Chains A and B, each alone.
Chain A
Amino acid sequence: MREGCVTLDLPADLLRAPLDAPGCWTPLGLTPVSAGFPSPAEDYADKRLDINDYLVRNPVSTFFFPVRGDSMQGAEIFDGDILVVDRSVRAQHGHVVVAFVNGERLVKRLHCRGGRLALLAENPAYPALEVVDGCELEIWGVVIGKFKRLPA
């Protein structure tokens, strides 16, 4: 017998066929052989959970921004958190947004009600930023989540 190969036992009815059945050579280890019972979970196998599916809705328009400072504590956004910012979400009153204001990148709560346009902090120590004429404001994207690693 050639090394690394094994002859298969051909079924009896094939051997009785009129053709001269050739010896069939198959390399060892080509297909996994499972002895014993098939896994009872086989039909129920699901994809392992991916944190991206949970945090990111639209990958193409999603960007990450780390936070510096404590002014958004009230919105449970803390120093060192990484924000998930989705540009494809339309910013509305009450959304937490990343905004470019007068040359700064900020994270604030958007307020636009009753003719007042302002960026609010979620910490009483910080004043609201009223958007008045002449103020350069760009709502960059809407914050839809956050994540952080812990030392361990």
Chain B
Amino acid sequence: MFALVDCNNFYASCEKLFDPKLAGRPLVVLSNNDGCVVARSAEAKALGVPMGVPWFKIQALAREHGIVARSSNYALYADMSNRVVEILSGFTPCMEVYSIDESFLDVRGFADRVAHGQLMRQRIAHWLGLPVCVGIAPTKTLAKLANHIAKKDPCFEGVCDLAQMAPEARASLFAAIEVGEVWGVGCRTAEQLARMNIHTVADLAHADPQAMRRCFSVVLERTVRELNGTACIALEEMAPPKQQIMASRSFGQWVEDLPTLKEAVAAYTSRAAEKLRQQGCVAGALTVMIRTNPFKPEAPQYQRSVTVPLTCPTDDTRVLVRIATRTLEGIFKAGFVYQKAGVMLSELTPPTARQASLFGDGEGEDARAGPLMATLDAINQRWGRGTVRSLAAGVTQPWQMRREQLSPAYTTSWDDLPVVHGG
């Protein structure tokens, strides 16, 4: 038996929690470089602001209704997300943190599941000021659906347990929900299903699993079985270690010259290397990619990505930055306006599996790299990200992403704490 706890309008709710001027106002949170709407407060949803719409396209609506925009404040959202997870882990240790605002809990053996769901909701609302909904069901796919129902239908008071609902009630609910709401059914699949006369959750639940496997994939077959109460997807309490580590961003301003591009690539490499060390792995290959803006077809287009194998798998920022910038030099072409660069580390292995290299630099260098990198990470953890960084990553970093409407890091920076007035 699973419970899915999902924060309502998570990014927008975090912003509203600390800024009293946002109370009752329509609020949207924007993606990197303040491009598109990635979260909407209830007021913004009520105004019909669609998810994913570019911010510049809704300027007229924003002016008319006083819609407030905020840049994504990941420091704040990550801290609040960790607090939610901490509270939920007080209910059961068997949980899977599925995303920044969703967690699956194993609630087998909970005597009164709805009462527990309400308690989770109340505690997160009281302790953190964040609204959440709880969906309970025998499978993860159904728990997702139950959460959707709990969000949409106020009579559930935020907690929906499909397992203790009368079959007729469940059937009529399923007949009223579009198939695209089902976990794992994307737009394209939903269109194809519509051509097969499968429009609602009920239609899909009644479909033949074997036929779904033939027409689509084993994934959709599993979805059909899950909709009928057979659990096929287990709780992943430990996230499997990542097979690749990616660091890529669009630039805050267009970049044309190699030195600036090198800075960005060095900074992304440093960040990826930090994640690599957190995971306790070394990388056996490094990919560098650059591209111009594909949404500006009138401008000259260029994109290139190159993967280089590393003779000596490593987690040393200095080595990785050196290789990444050298690789970039090989693929850079002047005369283009670059919009994005990325670095990917792959062939990740634990350091014990490190193969001694016939042509390596020898052990002397490696022996000092470990403590040096550990020190680097410790300093950056204590004094803030980027306190000590490779000079190759630049000092002013003009390519940094644009976040003009960024709220303070209310909970993670002493300089950003929210002031209270006595007056």
A66 and B86 contacting across the interface, CB-CB below 8 Å: no
A87 touches B128 (CB 8 A): yes
26 contacts between A and B (CB under 8 A): A60-B83, A60-B87, A61-B83, A61-B127, A63-B410, A63-B411, A65-B420, A66-B417, A66-B420, A67-B419, A67-B420, A67-B421, A67-B422, A69-B421, A70-B422, A71-B422, A72-B422, A83-B420, A87-B128, A88-B126, A103-B20, A106-B423, A107-B421, A107-B422, A108-B422, A138-B20
Least distance between A90 CB and chain B CB atoms (Å): 8
A98 touches B420 (CB 8 A): yes
Q: Is B21 an interface residue (CB 8 A)?
A: yes
CA distance A71 to B420 in the complex (A): 11
Decide if A92 is an interface residue (CB 8 Å cutoff): no
Asked whether B23 is an interface residue with its Cβ less than 8 Å from the other chain, the reply is yes
**Are B423 and A126 closer than 8 Å at their CB atoms?**
yes
B350 lies within 8 A of chain A by Cβ: no
B residues neighboring A (CB under 8 Å)? 20-21, 23-24, 83, 86-87, 126-129, 410-411, 417-423
Q: Which listed residue (B23, B83, B422) contacts A123, Cβ 8 A?
A: B422
CB-based closest 3 A-B pairs = A71-B422, A69-B422, A100-B20
Q: Which residues of A contact B419 (CB under 8 A)?
A: 65-68, 105
Count how many pairs of residues, one from A and one from B, have CB atoms less than 8 Å apart in the complex.
78
Q: Assuming A60-B86, A88-B126, is B421 touching A105 (CB within 8 A)?
A: yes
Report A-chain residues with C-beta under 8 Å of the C-beta of B417: 64-66, 82
Q: Which residues of B contact A76 (CB under 8 A)?
A: none
Note all chain B residues with C-beta closer than 8 A to A72.
422
Q: Is the CB of B126 within 8 A of A104?
A: no
Q: Is the CB of A88 within 8 A of B127?
A: yes
Assess the B418–A65 pair: CB atoms within 8 A: yes
Q: Which of A63, A64, A106 has the most CB of B within 10 A?
A: A63
How far apart sit A69 and B154, CA to CA, in the bound complex (Å)?
A: 42
Separation of A126 and B423 alpha carbons in the complex (Å): 7
Please give, as numbers and ranges, the residues of chain A lying within 8 Å of B86 by CB-CB distance. 60
Q: Known: A68-B421, A103-B23. Contact between A87 and B411, CB under 8 A? A: no
Most chain A Cβ neighbours within 10 Å, of B23, B86, B418: B418
With a cutoff of 8 Å between Cβ atoms, the chain B residues found around residue A69 in the complex are 421-423
Q: For residue A77, which residues in chain B have a CB less than 8 angstroms away from its CB? A: 422
> Is A121 an interface residue, CB under 8 A from the partner?
yes
Please name the residue on chain A nearest to B22 by beta carbon: A103
- List chain A residues, Cβ under 8 A from B24: 136
Size category, A interface: 20 to 34
Q: Is the CB of B422 within 8 A of A103?
A: no
**C-alpha gap A49/B419 in the complex (Å):** 28
Known: A66-B418, A102-B20. 7 other contacts (CB 8 A): A65-B417, A65-B418, A87-B128, A98-B420, A103-B23, A104-B421, A106-B420
Quick one: CB contact mask for A70-100 with B, threshold 8 Å, 1 for yes?
1110000100001100011000000000101
Bound-state CA distance A103–B127 (Å) is: 21
Q: What's the minimum C-beta distance from B85 to chain A, rounded to whole angstroms?
A: 10
Q: In the assembly, what is the distance between CA of A105 and CA of B127, in Å?
A: 18
Which residue of the partner chain B has the closest CB to A79?
A: B422
Residues of A within 8 Å of B83, CB to CB, are: 60-61
Chain A residue contacts of B422, Cβ below 8 A: 67-72, 77, 106-108, 121, 123, 126
The residue in chain A whose Cβ has the minimal distance to the Cβ of B87 is: A60
Whether A136 contacts B423 in the complex (CB less than 8 A), given A61-B127, A63-B411, A88-B127, comes out as no
CB distance from B132 to the nearest CB of A (A): 15
Q: How far, in angstroms, from A105 to B21 measured CA to CA in the complex?
A: 9
Q: Which of B128, B129, B420, B421 has the most CB of A within 10 A?
A: B420
Residues on the B chain within 8 Å of A103, using CB: 20-21, 23
